[in-house]
């Protein structure tokens, strides 16, 4: 017999419209760099987005994240300086046509976006021993990334663009934002209303890399067993859904 209270057992149903909205946010999420408007983000909207991030899953329910909300132009300028330095170093790693394409890419919106958010992971939040982290100490880092994804999808549903600035040396954010050990910066995000969202990810459109066929990434029971009979029917569904996605159709209404 289940002795949980009715509140603990309640079941939440998602209507077809709810389901479609979720997939719509996922398939229309974009890494935004240069389309930010200066319009402020209402605090009520920002609160909902942060609440969504705070409801991400976390190992041992440790909730290791914090959110540093950056709106001061001087703080942004210092982060941007760190980006420019890292970008110059990264560009030298490429050559030829790849390097020329790199020069054309807009890779951040630090100064343009009205709000920057640094999502962190406090690795000592609940002590040295964390349920579920004893065999893989990186589980708390993965948990904070889940918070980033929640934030990103909620922002997209609110009509806001988000860009993840990954071209930063690991010492920049602790120095500029005063982040203490053992807190680790996970993501530096630019967020704001935008002039529009690209139909496809910018790096895909620029032909930096193509989107990989999903059916090539699914293995049956063991690694490398891509032709397992047990996956044959699933892979046909994957190919059909990928084709729908390429045509701009959200593949959430196919026969189940």
pLDDT of residue 255 exceeding 50: no
Residue 25 belongs to some domain of the structure: no
Residue 2 belongs to some domain of the structure: no
Residues 80 and 173 in one domain: yes
Residues 146 and 57 in one domain: yes
Q: How confident is the model at residue 7 (pLDDT cuts 50, 70, 90)?
A: low
Q: How confident is the model at residue 77 (pLDDT cuts 50, 70, 90)?
A: very high
Residues 191 and 218 in one domain: no
Residues 183 and 77 in one domain: yes
Tell me the two tokens of residue 139.
């589980």
Residue 178 belongs to some domain of the structure: yes
Residues 232 and 172 in one domain: no
Residue 20 belongs to some domain of the structure: no
Residue 237: give the domain boundaries: 212-250
Sign of CA dihedral 235, 236, 237, 239: positive
**3-class SS at 150?**
helix
Residues 52 and 119 in one domain: yes
Residues 186 and 238 in one domain: no
pLDDT of residue 256 exceeding 60: no
Residues 166 and 101 in one domain: yes
pLDDT of residue 142 exceeding 80: yes
Region 240-249 average pLDDT: 92
Residues 228 and 138 in one domain: no
CATH of the domain at 185: 3.40.109.10
pLDDT in tens, 188-211: 999 999 999 999 999 999 999 999
Task: Name the E strands within 88-165.
Answer: 115-122, 160-164
Residues 47 and 158 in one domain: yes
Residue 91 belongs to some domain of the structure: yes
**Total structural domains in the chain?**
2
**3-class SS at 217?**
helix
Residues 102 and 118 in one domain: yes
């Amino acid at each position: 017999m289940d002795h949980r209270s009715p509140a603990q057992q309640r079941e939440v149903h998602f209507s077809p419209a709810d389901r479609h909205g979720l997939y719509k946010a996922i398939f229309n999420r974009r890494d935004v760099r240069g389309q930010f408007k200066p319009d402020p983000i209402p605090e009520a909207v920002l609160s909902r987005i942060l609440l969504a991030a705070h409801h991400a899953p976390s190992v041992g329910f440790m909730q290791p994240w914090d959110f540093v909300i950056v709106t001061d132009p001087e703080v942004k300028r210092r982060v941007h300086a760190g980006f420019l330095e890292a970008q110059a170093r990264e560009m030298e790693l490429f050559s030829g046509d790849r390097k020329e394409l790199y020069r054309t890419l807009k890779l951040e919106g630090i100064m343009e976006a009205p709000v920057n958010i640094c999502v962190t992971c406090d690795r000592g939040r609940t002590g040295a021993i964390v349920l579920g982290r004893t065999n893989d100490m990186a589980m708390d880092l993965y948990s904070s990334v889940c918070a980033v994804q929640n934030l990103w999808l909620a922002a997209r549903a609110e009509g806001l663009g988000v860009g993840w600035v990954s071209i930063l040396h690991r010492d920049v954010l602790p120095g500029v934002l005063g982040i203490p050990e053992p807190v680790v910066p996970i993501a530096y995000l630019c967020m704001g209303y935008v002039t529009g969202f690209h139909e496809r990810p910018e790096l895909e459109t620029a032909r930096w890399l193509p989107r990989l066929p999903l059916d090539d990434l699914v293995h049956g029971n063991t690694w490398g067993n891509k032709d397992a009979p047990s996956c044959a029917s699933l892979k046909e569904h994957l190919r059909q859904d990928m084709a729908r996605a390429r045509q701009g159709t959200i593949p959430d209404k196919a026969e189940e």
